[in-house]
Amino acid sequence: MARYPGKLAIQQRVLTPYRVAFFDALAAACNGGLGIFAGLARPEESIATSEVLNVAKFTPAHNLHFLRGPLYLCYQRGLLSWLTDYDPDALIVEANPRYLSTPAAVRWMKQRGRPVIGWGLGAAPPAGPLSGFRKSQRASFLHRFDALITYSRRGADEYAALGFPADKIVVAPNAAAPRPTAPMPFRARTFNGKPSVLFVGRLQKRKRVNDLLQACAALPEALQPRLVIVGDGSERTSLESLAKTVYPSAEFPGARHGAELARGFSAADLFVLPGTGGLAVQEAMSYGLPVIMGRGDGTNDDLVRPANGWQMPGPEKLAEVLREALSDVSRLRAMGRESYRIVTEEINLERMVEIFIKAVTLLTPGENR
């Protein structure tokens, strides 16, 4: 694997637990080390955070939050002091104009002739009042960076549409797990009785598990699956109550981890995430599962494709897609094999680290300080 010869720094609004493995792997590929600067979300956001890194060096930020919703702004106190103390050769920041401390950090690096890379989802065209002004401001913000890293081809196209040079946009598909080391579980050519549909995740409204229950109930009786809903959360009680009415056979085993969760993935025929989020999608694919998921912010565009699953434009299509998926076992098995290939060869933590190292190295050629 390629290595970065210098010292790298990354700014994040918050450090989520699922990013820890990636940052530690990236740090191991940096000769000068990797420093992470991140703070806390608002309590009402219910975002899990971590301050424990095994290889990378964590420095806590003091996040100041202003306003809410589309007017939300954040200022990270201590960012310039951290840069001065850590003194990185290159900096990666979230490409979000709502973070008020970012421009000062970019100027600090530029004054020292060091590159800054923006990392973000993309930049969907703004709508509503002042959309033209907002588009111009966003383009001006992005042009401060030497390069951009985004999660998907959709994100890259959105950045290019704002005039950012296409040859300076790098696509690093979002990865939450390393490439699988175990072989794909064996699955027979026919279902073992009823097909098995699996959901894994926090039971929150945005996951739209209620739509999954309704969609299973709408299927012909011969296609109605064994539905296993793994996870816990604020919506569990209401979902169990709904299930008693619309799909009484649905199973709610609660949160599962380790070997128990592995057995659940291995026993399933199809993984379904009707709503947004979905850190478990890549894990499901590592067990050779095809995927149905809601179309979201683009982070999973390159992960879930027509060859290995479905991205639905809306929950009203879920019953139709489930019917299609469960009606052809051989096709479903082929899609599962493609899922396994994708996370083995294309989208995994190791590949994400390689892309980040390549992007930073191209901007800092020659000898480092």
Contact criterion met (CB below 8 Å) for 89 and 114 = yes
62-66/73-77 β-pairing: antiparallel
Least confident of 42-51, 169-178, 297-306: 297-306
The yes or no reply on domain 196-345 and CATH 3.40.50.2000 is: yes
* Structure tokens belonging to residue 106: 């970019």
Q: Among 368, 328, 282, which Cα is nearest to 18's?
A: 282
Q: What is the mean pLDDT of residues 223-247?
A: 97
**What would the DSSP string read from start to end of 2-61?**
--B-S-EEEEEEE--GGGHHHHHHHHHTBTT-EEEEEE---GGG--------SSSEEEE-
pLDDT band for position 236 (cuts 50, 70, 90):
very high
Residue 366, pLDDT score: 53
User: Environment class of residue 67 by beta-carbon count within 10 Å: exposed (0-12), middle (13-18) or buried (19+)?
Assistant: exposed
Residue 301, pLDDT score: 81
pLDDT at 150 over 90: yes
Q: Among 74, 1, 88, 72, which Cα is nearest to 36's?
A: 88
Q: What is the mean pLDDT of residues 185-193?
A: 94
Q: What is the mean pLDDT of residues 257-280?
A: 92
pTM of the complete model: 0.90
Question: So where are the chain's domains?
Answer: 8-175+348-363, 196-345
Determine the Cα–Cα distance for residues 251 and 247; give it in Å rounded to an integer: 10
Average pLDDT, the chain: 94
User: Environment class of residue 41 by beta-carbon count within 10 Å: exposed (0-12), middle (13-18) or buried (19+)?
Assistant: middle
Q: Tell me the pLDDT tens digit for each residue of 200-221.
A: 998 989 899 999 999 999 999 9
Residue 367, pLDDT score: 45
What CATH code would you report for 8-175+348-363? 3.40.50.2000
